[in-house]
Homo-oligomer: A and B are copies of this chain.
């Protein structure tokens, strides 16, 4: 720890500022550096952190004037503005975000809740990509991003509420999509601003940004039918999430439109993981009447399915389609046909929507749906003989 020469800032201060009798003695806050070092001497104690008062003193104006310059108020004369700017530069002034947040009741920070254990959140490339979109939009808007991290959904919920209730964030983005989510109910009840990635059950009146998951399912299924398949299985995620329901709905719709029967034995749960996909695929192949094509509602499960096929020495004999267009799906063997979800845009749009809501440019809940696109690769690009 360093000692610092005494600088009796307050001698030069704007008269309004009495010499402080700080409640702290010669106190070095644990672990904090020179900015927070107080020195007790015969004179008044001194902090090295420059404040608007210091700037005001240097520029020969009142603190309120400095504050107005900072806020870009129009009622400041150009000369004063210039003087204050110069003083700020000379004193290397930086406004204190906590003080500002306290006074303005806004933190310019938003929270991101992942709604799954941190452990799992990044297992799927979806999250990083969504975060990239969010980050990019928030950076452009001058907002900060706090990550809410917890080990369980219950902890996640309290962590998120804590962020909001403690005024640490102005609003949150959720990536949940469980059909029943206490957190969403709480947020609505306590009237906190939030945006969902992935739609909410309609009645809630929440803001959300989603892609057209029903269309996704239909696209994948119709593509497989166009290649001559009629026994099309679906490896789905848990049905308590809306993504799973929607992506299944598209599959059902497409089959129904084509007059094909729904075979319940061709619907299995892969739990949104690669391993689950492998297991599900093995189950399907063990059926007396196995499918000729499989639509997996997520790339991770599709990759798992490919592995199962390889393990059975049947690579290429069953058509596989995934969803997401994870960067790695192009590298699988065979390269995976998939439906490209605009994951980055999902994040960016959600972030922008939330900021617009916070700044009052958007009022009330708003829902946005982004389009997806089929990407045909070798895993399905052949016709059933």
What is the interface of chain A, defined by CB distance below 8 A to chain B?
A: 1-2, 29-36, 94-99, 101-102, 104-107, 109, 118-119, 121-123, 125, 127-129, 131-132, 135-136, 138-139, 144-147, 149-151, 159, 162-163, 165-168, 170, 190-193, 303, 307, 327-328, 331-333, 357-361, 363
CB atoms of A170 and B32 under 8 A apart: yes
Point out the residue from B119, B168, B190 that lies within 8 Å of A132, measured CB to CB.
B119
CB atoms of A96 and B146 under 8 A apart: no
Q: Which residues of B contact A34 (CB under 8 A)?
A: 191
Q: Which residues of B contact A30 (CB under 8 A)?
A: 358-360
22 A-B contacts (beta carbon < 8 Å):
A30-B358, A31-B193, A31-B361, A32-B105, A33-B192, A33-B193, A94-B162, A94-B165, A97-B168, A98-B98, A98-B101, A99-B102, A102-B102, A119-B132, A121-B132, A122-B129, A135-B149, A139-B151, A144-B168, A307-B331, A328-B328, A333-B333
Minimal beta-carbon separation of A148 from chain B (angstroms): 8
CA A332 to CA B332, docked complex, whole Å: 8
Point out the residue from B119, B139, B331 that lies within 8 Å of A303, measured CB to CB.
B331
CB atoms of B145 and A146 under 8 A apart: yes
CB atoms of B150 and A139 under 8 A apart: yes
CB-nearest residue of chain B relative to A168? B97
CA A35 to CA B129, docked complex, whole Å: 33
CB atoms of B146 and A106 under 8 A apart: no
CB atoms of B147 and A147 under 8 A apart: yes
Point out the residue from B99, B109, B119, B191 that lies within 8 Å of A146, measured CB to CB.
B109
CB atoms of B191 and A33 under 8 A apart: yes
CB-nearest residue of chain B relative to A137? B149
Point out the residue from B96, B106, B127, B150 that lies within 8 Å of A102, measured CB to CB.
B96
Point out the residue from B32, B107, B144, B333 that lies within 8 Å of A193, measured CB to CB.
B32
Q: Which residues of B contact A363 (CB under 8 A)?
A: 1, 31
